[in-house]
Amino acid sequence: MSVSSAVLASPVMTRERLIFRAKALVVFGLVWHTIEAGATLAAGIPASSSALAGFGADVTVETIGGLIVLWRFSTSQQLIGLSYFLLAAYVAYDSSQMLLSGEHPDPSGVGLGIAVLSLIVMPPLRRAKGRVGDRLGSSAVKREGMENMMCAYLSICLVAGVGLNAIFGWWWADPLAAYGVAAIATIAGRRAWLGVNCCAIPPSTGLLLQRDDCACDGGRCCGTHSDLNHGGISN
C-alpha cells in the first residue's frame, strides 16, 4: 500500500473506531437503563412510592425511545413523545392523590441506591457521548448524551424525595419529587415530539447535519434505517 493510500485509509479506520465506540456507549446506556428501570419499579410499587414508580416508568420510556431513535422514524418519535406526556399526566395525578389522601410511602434503600448510582454513572456517560459525537459530527450521539443528563436530573429528584422520606420521615417529599419527575417527562416528551436536532443523512454525502441545516418537516426525524448502513450513525 502506498503512503497516500495509507493516509486516505486512516481517517476511515478512525471513523469506524469512533462509530464502534458510539454504538458501545449507546448499548451500555440502554443496558443500564433496563437494569435501572427494573430495580426502581420493583422497589417503588411495593413501597407505594410515586417518585420511584414514576422514575422507573420514565426510564422505561426513555429506553424504548433510545431503541426507536436508532431507526429514526418520525411517527415513532411522536409516539414516544405522546408516551412521555401520558406518563407525566399519570405521575402528576398519582402524586396529587397521595398528597390529598395523606398516604405515606415506605422508605426504599434500593431506590435511593439506584438513584445515587445513576447520578454517578450518567454525567460521565454524557461527556463520553459528547466527545464521540463531536468527533463524528453526529448530533444523534450528542442527543443521546443529553438524554442521559435528563436521567441524571430525574435522579436528583429521586434522591431528594426518597432520601428525605428515608432520613427524616418527610413522606410528602416523595410525591413532591414525583412532580419533578412529571415535569422532566413533559420536557422529554416535547423534545421527542419535535425531534430536537434530528435530521436525515443525505445519501450522496454521508454527512450528519444539525436540525437547522436540513429540510426536515418541523425538525422531526426523517431518515431511514438504511442510512445506518452507509457508514454513519443514525442522526
**Structurally, how many domains does the chain consist of?**
1
Name the band, by pLDDT with cuts 50, 70 and 90, for residue 213.
Answer: very low
More confident residue, 180 or 17: 180
Residue 210 belongs to a domain? yes
Residue 168 CA to residue 184 CA, distance in Å, equals 25
The SS3 call for residue 190 is helix
Query: Which residues, in sequence order, are CB contacts of 12 under 8 Å at separation 6+?
Result: none
Query: Which residues, in sequence order, are CB contacts of 1 under 8 Å at separation 6+?
Result: 9
Residue type present at position 171: W
Residue 4 belongs to a domain? no
Tell me the HSE value of 44 on the side-chain side, using a 13 A CA sphere: 29
pLDDT of residue 2: 45
Residue 225 belongs to a domain? yes
- Grid coordinates standing for 49? 412510592
> What are the pLDDT digits (tens) for 49-80?
888 888 888 888 777 766 765 565 555 667 77
Residue 208 belongs to a domain? yes
Express as a percent the part of the chain with pLDDT over 70: 70
> What are the pLDDT digits (tens) for 83-140?
788 888 888 988 898 899 888 888 888 888 888 998 999 899 889 888 888 888 776 6
Residue 18 belongs to a domain? yes
Residue 143 belongs to a domain? yes
Q: Is there a contact between 81 and 220 (Cβ–Cβ < 8 Å)?
A: no
Is residue 210's pLDDT more than 90? no
CA–centroid distance for 191 within its chain: 11
CATH of the domain at 51: 1.20.1510
Residue 9 belongs to a domain? no
Range of the domain at 75: 14-230
Among 81-85, 203-207, 217-221, the range with the most confident prediction by mean pLDDT is 81-85
Residue 83 belongs to a domain? yes
Say whether pTM exceeds 0.75. no
